[in-house]
Amino acid sequence: MNPENKNHYIDLGERGKFNLRNKLNNLTGKEWIKFTKSWFIHRPPRRKDDEILHPAKYPESLVEDFIKFFTKENDWVLDPFLGTASTLIAAGNLNRNGIGIELNKTYFKTSSDRIKKSKFKNDIKIHNGSSLNLSKIVSKIKDKDFKFDYTVTSPPYWNQLERNSIRQKNRKDKGLDTKYSENENDIGNIKSYDEFIELQAQIFDEVYKVTKNNGYLTIITNNVYYNGKLYPLAYDTAISLTKRGKFSWVLKDEKIWLQDDKPLIALGVNNAWVGNRHHQFCLILRKEEPDGIKKL
Ligand SMILES: C[S@@+](CC[C@H](N)C(=O)[O-])C[C@H]1O[C@@H](n2cnc3c(N)ncnc32)[C@H](O)[C@@H]1O
């Protein structure tokens, strides 16, 4: 190492050394490298608030790891499919600001209650509406030129909630919803797979409009098994977002979340292949426009 560079580092003991020229986050080199592994096992601590009735929450501790990597303190985080506000609770815990949009009134109310209870010192705002209008909503909440540093979100996995019969029964038994809403703007209600891919991409066009140049987007999603075949939803999500003309994202990577604590279910035994799908995809994309040149 060049001895002149020595002054750029702060020694944080066990955490490693923090480089003052780090452009992206508040992590040390050691922490940075650890997060770049292409898979992780995440067993979240049991939620204290397990009464939160939402069928597809992701753990705050998981989303915190992503927020720590892709933002610095006081940056702005967006979640266009807010659900019960896991992303914004994580953002608030880490002293980041955030905005979330949720269509379903019940989940919006849950989010609102959770955020109020948390008394964050940072600015956390939520809106009840459709993210198909996201850029308009954000320009009203902030201003027309406002841009986010980072988006992390988990969209509906097409209409998976409605049709996965064994898991569906478990959800019913736990008193959870088996669809998010009856709302026509709920993209989880779209029957056609191709139409879902297009509308989901339209929402990420909206996210693109309100993202800073070089800002990242993480989408947690999965391929889905339906009617005897695998629909490559995670792959099609990645591909579709890179082919959006002036709103095209650059696909950077995937991180695989391995869920090795899920029970195995007897699927297709003695008959035919049906997998126990115990992983999810975390797709990493970035808005990269050449500096100063606006794409048409
Ligand atoms: C997979 S869940 C997100 C769960 C969230 N990550 C959590 O931990 O609670 C997807 C959410 O997207 C919402 N949603 C569906 N279509 C939407 C739309 N057009 N605009 C905003 N929210 C929408 C659903 O109501 C649902 O709560």
Mean per-residue pLDDT over the chain, rounded: 90
The CB of 84 under 6 Å from ligand 1? The reply is yes
User: Do 67 and 132 share a domain, yes or no?
Assistant: yes
The CB of 107 under 6 Å from ligand 1? The reply is yes
User: Do 110 and 149 share a domain, yes or no?
Assistant: yes
Position 43 scores a pLDDT of 82
Q: Is pLDDT larger for residue 47 or for residue 117?
A: 117
User: Do 141 and 17 share a domain, yes or no?
Assistant: no
Residue 4 banded pLDDT, cuts 50, 70, 90? very low
Question: Which residue intervals of the chain are DSSP H helices?
Answer: 29-35, 60-70, 86-93, 105-118, 134-141, 160-163, 165-173, 193-209, 233-241
Residue-wise pLDDT tens digits, 190-203 = 999 999 999 999 99
Q: How much is the average pLDDT of 133-142?
A: 98
Identify the residue whose C-alpha is closest to ligand 1 atom 8: 57
Q: How large a percentage of the chain has pLDDT more than 90?
A: 78
User: Do 145 and 27 share a domain, yes or no?
Assistant: no
The CB of 97 under 6 Å from ligand 1? The reply is no
Tell me how far the alpha carbon of residue 248 lies from the centroid of ligand 1, in angstroms. 22
Indicate the number of domains in the chain. 2
Residue 291 banded pLDDT, cuts 50, 70, 90? low
User: Do 74 and 218 share a domain, yes or no?
Assistant: yes
Q: Is pLDDT larger for residue 293 or for residue 274?
A: 274
66 Cβ contact list (under 8 Å, min separation 6): 152, 218, 282
Q: Which domain holds residue 156?
A: 47-286
Q: How much is the average pLDDT of 81-104?
A: 97
User: Do 171 and 68 share a domain, yes or no?
Assistant: yes
C-beta separation of 154 from 219 below 8 A: yes
> Does the pTM of the predicted model rise above 0.85?
yes
User: Do 1 and 65 share a domain, yes or no?
Assistant: no
Residue 296 banded pLDDT, cuts 50, 70, 90? very low
User: Do 83 and 229 share a domain, yes or no?
Assistant: yes
Q: Is pLDDT larger for residue 74 or for residue 53?
A: 74
pLDDT over 70 at 152, yes or no: yes
C-beta separation of 252 from 179 below 8 A: no
Range with the poorest average pLDDT among 50-59, 74-83, 263-272: 50-59
Identify the residue whose C-alpha is closest to ligand 1 atom 13: 81
Domain contains 42: no
Tell me how far the alpha carbon of residue 103 lies from the centroid of ligand 1, in angstroms. 7
